Amino acid sequence: PDIKGREAILTVHAKGKPIERTVDLKVIARETSGFSGADLANLINEAALLATRMDKDKVEMSDFEQALDRVLMGAKREEVISDKEKEITAYHEAGHALAAWHLPEADPLHKVTIIPRGRSLGVTQLLPLEDRHNIGENQLHARLTFALGGRAAEKLVFDQLSAGAENDLKQATDLAGRMVTHWG
């Protein structure tokens, strides 16, 4: 479903659950591009469970944000990472954020974290203003620049590259390959 459809589905599934009136379902709908109705229902249930675990009377926006992070990126990893790894990760994610911030064709910056989740040590998340079914060349170039921004920051600051950019390289390579082989 599109953004309006996801917002309608969220509204239906939220009925009967004690949700704080400041929760903005339109923002959640924007953040959940590609989610099915079942995925959205699962997100609401996950947010309600988080609120319950924290003895809250109502589900707050922060509960939805935490639930979405868990669904999209996996559970927080509890292992302790070294200060050096945190520093490298922080510069890496800042590189992504700066690239997005300075590229007018990039989607707006939504969140930057260096909390390890799933297989990643950090994440920089962009939030499209609308669903897209087509993308222009300038936006594709912005996505490539964004994907490689973390790696560039590591090289500038530490004069070396880490294995932490593996997924970024894969995404950039896949996108560049499609640009050449599928879109000319």
Q: What contacts 99, CB < 8 A, 6 or more positions away? A: 106, 145, 146, 148, 149, 152
Among 7, 93, 154, 166, which one carries the catalytic annotation?
93
Q: How many CB atoms lie within 10 A of CB 111?
A: 15
Question: Are 164 and 158 within 8 A, CB to CB?
Answer: no
To the nearest 10 degrees (0 to 180), the angle between helices 83-102 and 137-158 is 150
Q: Tell me how far apart the alpha carbons of residues 137 and 77 are, in angstroms, rounded to a whole number.
A: 37
Question: Are 138 and 105 within 8 A, CB to CB?
Answer: yes
- By residue count, the chain amounts to 184
**Among residues 5, 52, 66, 75, which one has the least CA distance to residue 19?**
52
- 31 as an active site residue: the answer is no
Angle 112-115-118 from CA coordinates, rounded to 5°: 105
Residues identified as active-site = 93
